[in-house]
Amino acid sequence: MSNKLDKAREYEVKKEMTIPEQQRPAFHLTPRCGWMNDPNGFSSYKGEYHLFYQYYPYDTVWGPMHWGHAKSKDLITWEYLPVAMAPDEEYDKDGCFSGSATELEDGRQLLIYTGVNKVEEESGEIKEYQTQCVAVGDGVNYEKFGNNPVITSEMLPEGAGKYDFRDPKVWRENGRYYMVVGNKTPDRDGQILQYVSDDGFKWTYDKTVIKNNHRFGAMWECPDYFPLEGKQILLTSPQDMLPEELEFHNGNGTLCIIGSLDENGNFCEENCQAVDYGIDFYAPQTILTKDGRRVMIGWMQNWDTCGIRRDDFPWFGQMSFPREITLHNNKLIQRPVREIENYYGKRISRQNVLISDSASLSSIEGRCIDMTINVRSTGEDLSYRKFEVRFADNGKAYSTVEYDPEQGIVKIDRKHSGSRRAIVHQRRCRVANNGGDIKLRLILDRYSMELFINDGEQVMSMVILTDIKAEGISFKATGELLMDVEMYELERK
């Protein structure tokens, strides 16, 4: 074990002890201390779920990337494990970037990641070389492969860029190992490359899975590639996107491409859509559970909004609530994992509530809740023009979800949540127009809100850092409507 890894392990143990439990979310994984970004190595190993993450333990800003580590029996309650990797080799001295994990035939766990090495060229320019590397371990301790890196720029196909080449996602299939990895071409276009190996250590280039063709942003980061309900799915996170109406927004986004494989195993696109329509969601990874569910988790943050932070917090960044993903009419459906029901406490239900202005309902409040709202017009004709849910409200700070049934638009808004920074605080998405009927499910967990619309047809996520004593929830209508509410308090077991 290297001195850098020893130092990080000692530091995080001591620092974690100074962080009060109530200063963290109750049901969303945060870093043990310091900084967190992309999920890494989301996997099942020795009967438990493992999740690694991009990690800088020493400060709440991005730094030389380590791999933090946690495990769980149910995808909701996480136990911290010692930091798994530190940037302690020449080929990864400037960061152990994102990657994935699988189990080797001999029972050991294989981590595959991007090593970063900044080199000064003869011109004096600093270039960042990215290579793919592996480490092997027992679920707690990992040893980097002596012949790292296992994939270098010399193993790229013609036309690929040798500098932006990262975030391998690995899987086993038919006795072989495969990985997809993101690449940016010299003309700033994203593509996903596939490599193959017989043992997980010696890799060869297989094929180009897909080219962006200058459609969605530039570099395609953090790919995931898997079958789902007879289709083939590619998830990736494009950088530097341009907006497309309300489907894709500016900056870094998430992209789901649904397709199929032809007789030669080539990916054929059928539909493209955003993964999350909110403010804070990036770099998702998925896992196949033992009971056959495909579950996704992402970094619930946005590179363009890292300015919203609490200066008094000794951590930054959190993971999304795990989501079961399925398909319906060739579109992505996302729902909170069903294990959430094991954390249900008090249930409160109100039926056929008439809302004609602003109303608060007794006992409907809280910051750790699972609340489902069904809204409908009072008659056959549309009887309202806007519906608003206000939450995390203390009379001064609050956040909102709004629905405009005439336009078919849902908006989330945190500009009054207490932020002092003029960054992205609102996001909108277009939803199915059902004559004023809509179903909104809000998962609140102290410092976040995830909105599942119409049984997961669309999801909108955002971080809020409002004081947790702000627990007020109210409802408002322009016009009048009927509303059903069912709320469960979420309790740690």
CB 133 within 8 A of CB 169: no
**Helix, strand, or coil here: 206?**
strand
Please name the residue that has the structure tokens 């509303």: 483
Catalytic residue among 6, 38, 262, 393: 38
CA dihedral (160, 265, 41, 331) in degrees, to 10, reads: 100
Q: Decide: helix, strand or coil at residue 429.
A: strand
38 in active site: yes
Beta strands in 104-189, from DSSP E residues, in sequence order: 109-120, 126-137, 142-144, 165-173, 176-184
Q: Which residues pair with 370 in a beta bridge?
A: 443, 488
Rounded distance between C-alpha atoms, residue 215 and residue 257, angstroms: 12
Pairing of strands 176-184, 190-197: antiparallel
CA dihedral 324, 328, 331, 332 (to 10 degrees): 0
Taking the CB of residue 455, how many other CB atoms lie within 10 A of it?
Answer: 12
CA dist., res. 289 & res. 273, Å (int): 24
Q: Is 30 helix (H, G, I), strand (E, B) or coil?
A: coil
**Gap between the Cα atoms of 186 and 163, Å rounded:** 9
Distance between start and end Cα atoms, the chain: 35
Residue 20: both structure tokens together? 């009060």
Beta-sheet pairing, 315-316 with 34-45: parallel
491 secondary structure, DSSP code: -
**Residue at 53: amino acid letter:** Y
Q: What is the CA radius of gyration of the chain?
A: 23
Residues annotated as catalytic (active site), given as ranges: 38
